[in-house]
Amino acid sequence: MIGLDTVIEGVLLGGVYALFALGLSLIFGIMRLVNLAHGDLILLAAYLVLSVTTVLGIPLLVATLLVVVVMFVAGFALQRLVLERVLGDDILPPLLVTFGLSIVIQNGLLLVYGADSRRLQAGAFESSSVTLGGGLSIGLAPLTALLTAIVAVALLQLVFYRTSLGRAFRATSDNPQIAQLMGINERSVYAIAVGISLAVSVIAAITFGIRANFDPSIGPARLLYAFEAVIIGGLGSLWGTLVGGIVLGLAQTIGARINPEWQILSGHLAFLAVLMVRPRGLFPSRRP
């Protein structure tokens, strides 16, 4: 039967999917860029954290901060040196470039780290749990993932609606040309947006890397879940993306409970169902 434990498990899994999707949602919302390399960039971040913790022996928390900074700079540079050249009215060139980037990252990781599965080590944190009443207990790691996702969305909302950078993001999202005429440097705004997107991806990488094994080939599958979460939630809405992740997580867990082979399928079915009922997602914030 589908009990409370299944629901809790689904919601917690949704936290991980939401974290995957946040960075994607962010840059789509601001610059209408569909980043096909998003999943692979998350993996790149996971491998960087792995290297920093195991090879350099730096504790996970410090490593996280370090890699967040590295990925922010990488995102800024990626936009200024590569993506900026292909962004425009035609959506095909950026799709092709990010698709190419995806292949480059996958093969680069394969070359450096090999095809073996890896996992991030978080010591006792991985297996500790919080006990609830009624014989239920919740794993600390997945709970932290969900809470992190909520905090991440709240912080990003705060940046969007309470800071001048956020106003610049929203103004540029509404009309980049006019934003420029109002003194906003569009190139910097976009570069910062991609930087933040990749910085958030590091958090996604860590929560995922502690929870499951990863190898260089799994980026595109993560991208697919992220896409589904963004679209279920509604394009351009960060809270929507969080809800989208949770809907996807719930659907997968409930499906798996009915029949273990149905986990992935039921996630996709839930996605299709939402698309049929609300083609613009649950919380659309943008005009079509």
Per CB under 8 A, contacts with other proteins among 214-273 are none
Q: Given the complex with other proteins, which of 157 and 285 has the nearer CB atom?
A: 285
**Per CB under 8 A, which of residues 8..27 are in contact with other proteins?**
none
Figure out which of the listed residues 170, 268, 280, 284 binds other proteins, where binding follows CB under 8 A: 170
60 in contact with other proteins (CB under 8 A): no
What are the distances in angstroms from CA 24 to CA 31, 136, 211, 225? 11, 34, 21, 11
Listed in order, strand segments (DSSP E) in 3-53 are: none
Q: Under DSSP, is residue 112 helix (H, G, I), strand (E, B) or coil?
A: helix
Q: Does 164 bind other proteins (CB under 8 A)?
A: yes
Please choose, out of 11-19, 81-89, 162-170, 209-217, the segment that lies near other proteins by the rule CB under 8 A: 162-170
Count of residues that interact with other proteins, criterion CB under 8 A: 20
- In angstroms, what CA-CA distances link 263 with 12, 72, 213, 269? 15, 34, 18, 10
Rule CB under 8 A: say whether 126 interacts with other proteins: no
Residue/partner pairs of 129-134 with CB below 8 Å, 24 or more apart? 134/4
Which CB sits closer to other proteins, 89 or 116? 89
Mask: binding to other proteins, 182-201, rule CB under 8 A, as x and -? xxxxx---------------
3-class SS of residue 59:
coil
Ramachandran area for residue 32 (φ above 0: left; ψ -120 to 50: alpha; else beta): left
Q: What are phi and psi of 287, to 5 degrees?
A: -70, 155
Kindly tell me which of 129 and 187 has the beta carbon lying closer to other proteins: 187
User: What is residue 214's DSSP assignment?
Assistant: B
Shortest Cβ 185–other proteins spacing (Å): 5
- Among residues 10 and 29, whose Cβ is nearest to other proteins? 29
**Footprint on residues 40-59 left by other proteins (CB under 8 A):** none
- Scanning 63-71, 165-173, 212-220, 254-262 for contacts with other proteins by CB under 8 A, the matching segment is 165-173
Please enumerate in sequence order all residues whose Cβ is within 8 A of that of 175, keeping only pairs 6 or more positions apart, or say none.
Answer: none
Residues in the chain: 288
Quote the strand ranges of the chain, DSSP E: 129-131, 137-139
**Member of 51, 144, 180, 263 binding other proteins (CB under 8 A):** 180
Q: Is 84 in the site for other proteins (CB under 8 A)?
A: no
